[in-house]
């Protein structure tokens, strides 16, 4: 069934372009990081060994390659700080993703059911925060959450609490920051999935005796599955490695891998350890993604 | 007709400034196969959606078995609909699509299995129960949609252009299947269609609609042979409209520009201007004789008959169907005869 056709040079170039792009700007840096992750940490500049040079002979290269070590990876597994950082990152990202989903779904539903001429305006409003700096928006949450911040002041003024609630510098604040920042990434894929649903499917379900709640659970929700999964991945994956939000909103005890990495890199100057942590993170996130993709392809193949 | 199962009384519906339904009254009996026929935009689909509960009439009432349906949401109406697009659930297989309505009624698992198998057999879909919807052909999808709508044993089944998406050959076969299934299930079927052949072929009675109003309600033969209005005569089947003046004495007839055509005068007065609708196959075509003289301007061979366009006056061309066997050529002289009762005098347009 494969219909092999000779591709023209132009067609080959067009197909090759995205691969070249990924090779140049994703794969090459990844390989550099991978190489540093198996290097040894030394007090020098740059702070690792071996360093290859174009002038090296083959024998020199071989000798230098003897310096490669998996020590950084071993340290990663044995160092409770890393293990805890990973677990804490995954937990915070998972909770934040779940809350983002719960907040975004009704919004997406309302947008998809809004009159057609209103929808472009609503999409515009959903992405409007992107016009301001991400950093400033996260910073603004400090003013809301801190002990003498807007929320605590308002609650105290209303007499609901007598002492300020500790919100700033907690894992909860990090979750709030992630939910707020990543909401559009959840909203838009779900909206896209809901918007293209055929309204007659809901009518058919109602016609067959499904109450509005049943129509939602049996038809609307299952048919938006792809959007929910896409949105959840778009939130969860960057949230695990998030650095800015935990740095600004999290307390010193809020461990997230992005911060631990930053500390190793810039404070401890242990580049190999930081690189190993980064590579491990990629592997950690890629494995479930690949499994999901394989299951999806299998399901499609079964059609 | 049986006692009316469905009563539609003086129903009106507007969408903004557009009148979709204007004072529509209809009654459909239990076990009847009823057709709403009309061109697109005539309000037939709106009427069907009002019965299903997807639209609420602005005025008037719809009652099922004497129970007023106003304010009853679609999911509480004992009426099911087969959608024009079929609206099958893509995330469920054939079996679960058909079982959907039964599961909502909370029936026992065994009863659901039995009922679904029964419907799969009736619609010739056995062995396809576990298929995904996107693996089905158009005809199979149509039958799943029918089985799904029939599964909860509705008092009335609404079918929105049920054969519209099928090709010509399959459509005829499916017409017989639909009729058979309707007979077996004893369910009232209300079909919406713009296809006059479909309505004539399937329905016990037809309501012809135009611009939100019902023009005529009658059996297929009566609709065809005795159209109530010019619109019905023109929309259902082919016809000739002959303008003339009515004379009542010495055998009623219409005096047209090209001759005298006998007709039933009804209650129109002597000398009234009137229109007579005559179907092409009711006009007799001879080479010579008594009839009105004309010559063949053009013809179309149709297998069973040959449709001739015969010029009988400077600006009057009549269509007449000549029987099989006779060959005509352009320019041939013919005589057209009008047996008594061949045509129907039409009321003035509103």
pLDDT at A302: 59
Asked if residue B160 lies in contact with residue B48, where contact means CB atoms within 8 angstroms, the answer is: yes
**Which CATH number fits the domain that encloses residue B297?**
2.40.50.140
Encode A32-57: b = buried (16+ Cβ within 10 Å), e = exposed.
Answer: ebeebbbbebbeeeebbebeeeeeee
**Is B83 in contact with A204 (Cβ distance < 8 A)?**
yes
pLDDT at B89: 97
**Which CATH number fits the domain that encloses residue A195?**
1.10.3720.10
Task: Tell me, yes or no, whether A23 lies in a domain.
Answer: no
pLDDT at A251: 86
B205-215 pLDDT, tens per residue? 999 999 999 99
Tell how strand B156-160 and strand B188-193 pair up: parallel
Q: How far apart are CA A216 and CA A87, in angstroms?
A: 34
Neighbouring C-beta atoms of residue B234, cutoff 10 Å: 14
pLDDT at B249: 78
Neighbouring C-beta atoms of residue B277, cutoff 10 Å: 23
Tell how strand B33-37 and strand B205-210 pair up: parallel
pLDDT at B169: 86
Query: Which residues, given as ranges, of chain B have pLDDT below 70?
Result: 1-3, 347-350
Q: What's the predicted TM-score (pTM) here? A: 0.83
% residues pLDDT > 90 (chain A): 60
Burial of B83 (0-12, 13-18, 19+ CB in 10 A): buried
Interface probe with B: pick from A198, A205, A207, most Cβ of B within 10 Å: A207
Are B58 and B150 found together in one domain? yes
What average pLDDT score do residues A101-124 get? 95
CB contact, 8 Å: A90 with chain B?
no
Q: How many domains does chain B have?
A: 2
Are B70 and B175 found together in one domain? yes
Are B135 and B264 found together in one domain? no
Q: How many domains does chain A have?
A: 1
Distance of CA A137 to the CA centre of its chain: 18
**Is B104 in contact with A206 (Cβ distance < 8 A)?**
no
pLDDT at A3: 56
Nearest to B83 among A200, A218, A303 (CB): A200
A146-175 pLDDT, tens per residue? 999 999 999 999 999 999 999 999 999 999
B321 membership: H or E segment, kind and range: strand B316-322
- Give start and end residues of each alpha helix (H) in chain B: 44-52, 94-104, 109-122, 138-150, 168-185, 196-202, 220-225, 230-235
Are B175 and B243 found together in one domain? no
Domain range spanning residue B191? Answer: 4-234
ipTM value > 0.90: no
pLDDT at B349: 58
Domain range spanning residue A103? Answer: 68-301
Are B216 and B248 found together in one domain? no
Among A212, A232, A213, A198, CA closest to A105: A232
CB contact, 8 Å: B130 with chain A?
no
* In chain A, residues 12-71 whose CB comes closer than 8 Å to chain B: none
Residue A50 pLDDT level (bands cut at 50, 70, 90): confident
Nearest to B134 among A212, A218, A303 (CB): A303
**Is B85 in contact with A198 (Cβ distance < 8 A)?**
yes
**Is B87 in contact with A203 (Cβ distance < 8 A)?**
yes
Task: Tell me, yes or no, whether A62 lies in a domain.
Answer: no
Are B287 and B225 found together in one domain? no
**Is B85 in contact with A303 (Cβ distance < 8 A)?**
no
| B20 phi, psi to nearest 5 deg | -95, -40
What average pLDDT score do residues A125-140 get? 92
% residues pLDDT > 70 (chain A): 97
CA contacts within 13 A on the Cβ side of B274: 29
A87 membership: H or E segment, kind and range: helix A80-113
* In chain A, residues 222-281 whose CB comes closer than 8 Å to chain B: 222-223, 225
pLDDT at B164: 84
Task: Kindly list the residues from chain A whose CB atom is less than 8 angstroms away from the CB atom of residue B75.
Answer: 206-212
């Amino acid at each position: 069934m494969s219909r092999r056709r000779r591709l023209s040079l132009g067609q080959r170039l067009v197909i090759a372009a995205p691969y070249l792009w990924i090779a140049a700007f994703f794969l090459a840096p990844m390989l550099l990081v991978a190489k540093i992750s198996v290097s040894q940490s030394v007090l020098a500049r740059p702070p690792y060994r071996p360093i290859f040079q174009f002038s090296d002979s083959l024998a020199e290269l071989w000798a230098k390659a003897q310096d490669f070590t998996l020590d950084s990876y071993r340290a990663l597994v044995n160092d409770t700080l890393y293990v805890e950082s990973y677990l804490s990152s995954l937990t915070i990202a998972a909770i934040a993703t779940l809350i983002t989903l719960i907040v975004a779904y009704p919004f997406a539903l309302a947008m998809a059911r809004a009159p057609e001429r209103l929808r472009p305006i609503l999409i515009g409003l959903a992405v409007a925060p992107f016009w301001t700096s991400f950093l400033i928006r996260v910073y603004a949450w400090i003013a809301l959450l801190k002990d003498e911040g807007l929320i605590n002041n308002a609650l105290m003024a209303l007499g609901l609490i007598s002492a300020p609630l500790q919100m700033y510098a907690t894992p909860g604040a990090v979750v709030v920051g992630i939910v707020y920042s990543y909401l559009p990434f959840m909203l838009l894929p779900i909206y896209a999935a809901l918007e293209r649903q055929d309204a007659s499917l809901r009518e058919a379900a109602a016609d067959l005796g499904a109450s509005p709640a049943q129509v939602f659970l049996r038809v609307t929700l299952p048919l938006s599955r792809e959007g929910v999964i896409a949105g959840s991945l778009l939130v969860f994956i960057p949230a695990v490695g998030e650095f800015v939000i935990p740095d600004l909103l999290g307390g010193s005890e809020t461990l997230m891998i992005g911060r631990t990495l930053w500390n190793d890199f810039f404070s401890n100057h242990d580049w190999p350890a930081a690189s190993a942590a980064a590579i491990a993170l990629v592997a950690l996130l890629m494995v479930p993604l690949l499994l999901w993709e394989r299951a999806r392809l299998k399901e499609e193949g079964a059609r | 007709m049986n006692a009316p199962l469905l009563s539609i009384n003086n129903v009106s519906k507007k969408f903004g400034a557009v009148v979709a339904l204007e004072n529509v009254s209809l009654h459909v009996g239990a076990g009847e196969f009823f057709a709403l026929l009309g061109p697109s935009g005539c309000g037939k689909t709106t009427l069907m959606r009002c019965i299903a509960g997807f639209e609420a009439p602005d005025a008037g009432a719809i009652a099922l078995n004497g129970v007023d349906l106003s304010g009853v949401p679609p999911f509480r109406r004992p009426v099911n609909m087969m959608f024009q697009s079929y609206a099958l659930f893509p995330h469920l297989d054939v079996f679960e699509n058909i079982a959907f309505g039964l599961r909502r009624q909370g029936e026992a698992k065994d009863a659901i299995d039995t009922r679904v198998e029964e419907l799969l057999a009736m619609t010739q879909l056995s062995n396809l129960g576990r298929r995904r919807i996107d693996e089905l052909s158009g005809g199979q999808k149509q039958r799943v949609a029918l089985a799904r709508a029939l599964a909860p044993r509705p008092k009335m089944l609404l079918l929105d252009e049920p054969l519209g998406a099928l090709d010509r050959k399959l459509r005829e076969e499916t017409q017989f299947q639909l009729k058979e299934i309707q007979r077996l299930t004893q369910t009232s079927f209300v079909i919406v269609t713009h296809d006059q052949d479909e309505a004539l072929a399937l329905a016990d009675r037809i309501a012809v609609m135009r611009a939100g109003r019902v023009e005529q309600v009658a059996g297929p033969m009566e609709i065809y042979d005795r159209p109530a209005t010019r619109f019905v005569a023109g929309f259902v089947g082919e016809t000739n409209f002959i303008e003339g003046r009515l004379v009542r004495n010495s055998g009623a007839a219409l005096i047209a520009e090209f001759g005298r055509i006998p007709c039933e005068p009804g209650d129109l007065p002597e000398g009234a201007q009137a229109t007579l609708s005559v179907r092409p196959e009711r006009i007799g075509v001879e080479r010579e004789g008594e009839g009105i003289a004309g010559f063949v301007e053009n013809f179309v061979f149709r297998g069973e008959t040959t449709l001739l366009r015969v010029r009988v006056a400077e600006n009057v061309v009549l269509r007449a169907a000549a029987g099989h066997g006779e060959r005509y050529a352009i320019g041939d002289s013919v005589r057209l005869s009008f047996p008594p009762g061949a045509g129907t005098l039409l009321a003035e347009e509103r």
